[in-house]
Structures are given as C-alpha cells and as structure tokens.
Chain A
Amino acid sequence: MKTDMNRWLKDLRENSVKKALPILSFPVIQLMNVTVKELISDSDMQANGMKLMSERIDSAAAVSLMDLSVEAEAFGSKICVSENEVPTVIGRIVESLEDAENLKIPAVGDARTGIYLDSMAKAVKLIHDRPIFAGIIGPYSLTGRLMDVSEAMIKCYEEPEIVHKTLAAVTEFLIEYARKYKEVGVNGIIIAEPTAGILSPDLIQEFSTDYVKKIIEAVQDESFIVIYHNCGNNTIQLIDSILDTNASAFHFGNAIDMAEMMKHIPVNKIAMGNVDPAGQFRNGTPESIREQTLKIMNSCSKYPNFVISSGCDIPPLAKWDNIDSFFKAIKEFYQQ
C-alpha cells in the first residue's frame, strides 16, 4: 500500500497518543504453533504471521522478522538454525584481502532472501491498516558476520583495506536488496546495525555510517523510509555519527538511558526504545514490564518525537502475558 511516509512520521510526532512500535515478530511462533525453523523457511507462514500479529497487537506498524543471518547466508556463511532461537551465523568467510576482493556478491533472491522478499510481497496484500517495514542488516554488522566480529573490529585498525573491500561488496548487495523491498511495496526498512554500536566514535563514521548513508540515499523517499536500529551500548557517545546517516527514524536498545538519548535527537526525527527484550519481554513478569514501560514513558514522553518500543528484537519465546502487559501499560499511561 503506497503511503505518504513523511506524513506518517509527522502524524506520529504530532499525535498526543502514540501507538507503540515494538520489534515484535518471532513470538508469533507461539500463536501459530510453529517453530522458528519452520517460520524462517516459509514465506506464506511469515506473511500470515505478520497478519496475525497485526490483528493481535495495536502497533504503529507491522514489522518483519529481524533475522540477521539471512544476508550472510546469501553470501555463503553457514548458519545455525534451531527450533526456538533466532538463527546465528557460524565461522567466517573473509579472512584475507584476497577473500575480500574475491567476495561474490549474491543475487537478490539467493538463499533465503527470496523467501523474505516473497513474504513481504504477500504481507502487503494482507495488511492494510498500518505501514509495513521489512528488516535488513546494516553493512558493518553484515561485515562482522562475514569476517568474525572481533576480527572485523581489530582489522579496522590493522588492515582497514580488508574491511572496506568487504563493506563495499555488502553495501552493493544491501542497496539492491532494499530496492527489491521497495518494489514489492513495503513502506520502508528497519536497518539493523548493532555491531557498529560497539565501535569507537573514530571508527563508526568511516566503517559504518558512510556505508549506511549510501543505502539510505539509494532508497529513501516520501513513500519509503529507513528506520536505523542500533542496540549497541555506546550509541549515546556515537549519536552524532548515527544521526549523520540521515535515516528518517532511529531505534535504540535497552543498554542506554533513553531519556538521555532523547536530549540528542532533533525534534524532526522520531526515536524509539527501549524496554528490555530479554529481561522484561522474555524473563520478566507482567508487573515488572508494566513498571519498566511506565518508567520509560514517564521519562521520555515529554519529547513529542519519542515512540515507545522494545529495546531490540523480542525473543521468540517471550511471554505473551508480558507482551500484553506492555501494551496495557501504554494504555494506562495515556489514561492517566
């Protein structure tokens, strides 16, 4: 559904009562009685799951699976798939400059990227009451998965050429991948760049932001926006560079003080966060998540550009009692 996304953002800022936008997708396995393994392999299941989720929760937008193994798998990485956990990338495929130079850029549609694109094409036909966002990985986070995260950090200092060669390849792929999402009719992407959140301020601009910008410049317009997600723990120190990506909205993790972060966000940019996905949605209680949600809303809602959300992707086995309590707490806040 074609939507004026700048208008959507403006409404989100101006509405006194704002709907939440949690990164809530994988827990649908409990509603559908399927496994993560089944969900990540079936586009119909993913689209139907998003539809089911949109009927179950009153969110500002529908979001696809935040599966940060899809793109690395397309590049040739091995992944570990389990019944109830989000897939993980194993090992590394780029160790040397030669590996980086010979890195074959996959076609969009290779491996499971085809399933994920297909699921979005189907979801846009099923969901009409809110915008739909597809999830893709950020360039440095993908580079980290191809090189090994620790090696990718060390090589930023010791062999930056390898990192840049890999970044150039993955960015070329991610631009095409994002364009395909735009073509199938979703309203935007959430680009997850968590690995950049542990870089130092002198590294993030060169090894992440400059590449994220290229992706955003290639696809963002009035009908398709980019939400930048970073749940790293240094995002407040890195915020100037993060804002330089020129994403339309930002999403932060629970490792930071959201109220402190809001001081750094320009009024024309939405920032979302940051109820603890593991500690609250997965391992908390309805009472504890209510308390944390209200605490964040009380400290951040004075900023019209703040939108309550989870701090990251909500784990597949998060308790639905806690998810429901999160939404109830938001209602309670606005009824106060």
Chain B
Amino acid sequence: MNILDDISEFLQQGKVPKVKELVQQALDEGIEPKAILEEGLLKGMGIIGGKFKNNEVFIPQVLIAARAMNAGVEIMKPVLISSGVKSKGVAVIGTVKGDLHDIGKNLVKLMIESKGITVIDLGIDVPPERFVEATIENNASIVCCSSLLTNNMMEMANVIKALEDNGIREKVKVMVGGAPVTQEFCDKIGADCYTVDASSAAEAALSFCA
C-alpha cells in the first residue's frame, strides 16, 4: 500500500494525527500536492461518502473523517496555493433566516468539500441578503439553503428572490434541502436542485461545477 492509500485509509478511520503525519511525509517525499489532495484526502472522503449513502457508515464516522480531511488540507494549504491547485468551484451554504439547526447543513458542507469544492459556510439564521453578498464576494456558482423548520422553509424562496433582485440568479444554481423539504417544494419556489441526502447533494454540486 502506498502512502496515498494510507492517507485515504487513516482518513476514513478519522485518525487526525496519522493523516497529518502522512500528509507531511508525502510532501517531504516530493509527491505532487494535487495527487496528495485527490488520491489521498479526497479519495478517502469520497469512499466515506459512498459508504454513508449506502448506510454502511453513520454520521459520526463521516464527521470524524471530515475532521481528519480538514486537518490534512490545512497542512497542504500553502503548497496548494503556491502550486496553483484550484478548487473545482465555490458554493455558499447556510441555514435560512429564522432557523438555528445546523446538523444537516454541516453534513452537506462536509460532503461538498469532499468533492474538492470550496464551501463558504454562512452558519445559521442567514438572511437572504447575506446569501447574495457572499455569492458576489466569493464569485460562487452554487447557493445551498437548508431548513428544518416548516414555518421557515419559505425563506428559501426569499433567497431566490434576492438573487433575482440583484441580477445574479442566472449565474448560480440554487440547491435546497432539509427534513421538511421535498422535490415538489423545490419546484414550487423555483430552486434548481433538491436532494434527499448529503451525498447526493455533493454529487449534484459537483455536476454543477463541470
């Protein structure tokens, strides 16, 4: 097994110290940063994402794997920048105004990041204008809105309206999700994409970056 496979394997187990150690070792050995990122870290996270989709692993295992991935990426950041490795796209994500829940949103964020997409996390209780500002500031091509509360779901429609009012609706894909959200609701408010789980959301986001 080579060092990139080891990185992937330890990442899947959520072993932060081992992932950090091996990423540093790989860099020291002169392995291309792009290869460490894609064949080690993102590969491991992709495997976890697939297993999560198939109910072979559970949310806690995804969370510890994502923490290990982030630890590895942190070490690589300077070299990734200097070697010109770019992210596959930029997504803005947040739980809509009036809603303070974030487990689902955080999970989607981790899964999208595992596809090599930069995710700007706006947190919870995010007003429509903040989605717009962040989209413009970061030149994002994807806007992800999350909600757990039935009364606040319509805030997603307000996000879409705010994007329209600011003339950037056509430049972005709007993804919606959360326990009460359905495909019917997505269609009704004019969003571009609804997915039933975090893994599918990440796949959809990647398809929008192609």
Contacts and interface: CB of A to CB of B under 8 A. Distances in A.
Given A157-B14, A278-B179, A317-B151, A88 B60 contact: no
B55 interface: yes
Interface in B135-163: 149-152
Interface in B54-75: 55, 57-61, 63-64, 67
Contact of A153 (B63, B101, B150, B179): B63
A200 B60 CA distance: 7
Nearest to B182: A279
B116 interface: no
Contacts, number: 59
A154 B180 contact: no
A158 interface: yes
Given A150-B106, A154-B67, A157-B14, A203 B150 contact: no
B64 A85 contact: no
A149 interface: yes
Contacts of A283: 150, 180, 185
B60 A157 contact: yes
Interface string A153-180: 1101110000000000000000000000
A82 interface: yes
A283 B101 CA distance: 19
A158 B103 contact: no
Contact of B63 (A82, A88, A90, A154): A154
B87 to A, nearest CB: 23
A184 interface: no
B151 A315 contact: yes
Given A84-B151, A149-B103, A315-B151, A200 B179 contact: no
A153 B59 CA distance: 8
Contact of A156 (B60, B67, B182): B60
A246 interface: no
Contacts of B149: 85
**Residue of B60, B151, B179 with highest tally of chain A CB at under 10 A:** B60
Contact of B64 (A84, A90, A154, A279): A154
A158 B61 CA distance: 11
Contacts of A90: 100
A103 interface: no
B98 interface: yes
A199 B60 contact: yes
Contacts of A259: none
A315 B61 contact: no
B58 A199 contact: yes
A336 to B, nearest CB: 29
A157 B60 CA distance: 8
